[in-house]
Structure 1
Amino acid sequence: MNLSIWDPFREMEELLDRYSRSSRKSLAKSDDKTFEVGDWMPVVDIDETDDAFLVKAELPGVKKNDVNVNIENGVLTIRGEKKTETEDKKRHRVECAYGSFVRSFSLPQAIKAEKVEAEYKNGILNLTIPKSEEAKPKQIEVKVK
């Protein structure tokens, strides 16, 4: 089991962002041309195996070239942008969220950053972040005398 430092302010900031976005959506009128959905935040799952951390980020509508993944000082950062269509159309309603996003997660120091694998397919980003040897659980044999 790995422990990470809990940052209540980061969690509170994310909750306030979500509340702010949902409030703007619910208060907007359907004919309000000035309403903008604003930035959106993709959902992320992080799982752990004996050998690696597995990160899955749902990024529907985001092109591969608009996604950037970085690990620096034990922090995984996923950045990107979901761009609007640029065709000249008369829009009657916009409910899809567009804009930039940044998600950051603290990782244990004991990872192999140079061996991280990233795969992007059908709007899903999968990262495999291998653990270094000192982070893997070690089985200790107990001898009975």
Structure 2
Amino acid sequence: MSNLIRYNPINTISDLFDTVLNGKGFEASDRAFVSNRWPRVDITEHADSYTIKADLPGIEKTDVSILIDNGVLRIEGERKDEYKKEDGRYYHLERNCGKFSRSFSLPDEVDIERIEASMANGVLTLTLHKLEKAKPKQIDIKIE
């Protein structure tokens, strides 16, 4: 089986040190260094909302929960263990199983009553609508 490449955790650590020591820092364009149990996310801001997209491949929506507590949004879930010892000898395992959690502080302008969630093709999409800003009131001047 010489055509299979074994995972080398030193490469991941080496890449992280290279990023930090070469002055690149953790810019938005760089891939985040995140544990495999945490879903990777993209967060975008729009004029009237924020969007969070979390990669959750192979996870059923019934195994995911979204909680809000004290201004913190938390995505929790569990990837079920699908490995069976009677299936044979596993040569290489990278897909984690078990519980995961990811938390985000919400800006004050998010309307927590209008947060929407959907899941398709292994991607959880959260739409966090912003509160409608109070419009200035126009006061007409009467001419006497």
Q: TM-score, normalised by structure 2?
A: 0.63
Instruction: Give 5+ residue unaligned stretches, structure 1.
Output: 1-21, 27-37, 139-145
Matched, 1:91 2:92: no
Cα RMSD over matched residues?
2.6
Deviations 1:121-145 (A, max 9, x none): 11100000101024x9x8xxxxxxx
Q: Sort the Cα spacing of 1:39 and 1:47 in 2 relative to 1 into closer, same or farther, 3 A.
A: closer
1:31-110 equivalence runs, <5 A: 40-85=37-82, 87=84, 88-93=86-91, 94-110=93-109
Give the Å deviation of 1:76: 0.9
Residue pairs, 1:19-30, within 5 angstroms: 22=9
In structure 2, the gaps of 5 or more residues are 1-8, 14-34, 136-144
SS in 2 for 1:133: coil
CA offset digits 1:27-61 (Å, max 9, x no partner): xxxxxxxxxxx961110111111101100000111
* Equivalent in the alignment of 2:122: 123
Q: Letter of the aligned partner of 1:84 in structure 2? A: D
Name the structure where helix makes up a greater proportion of residues. Answer: 1
Q: How many residues align?
A: 104
Percent identity for Structure 1 against Structure 2:
44
Query: Larger Rg: 1 or 2?
Result: 2
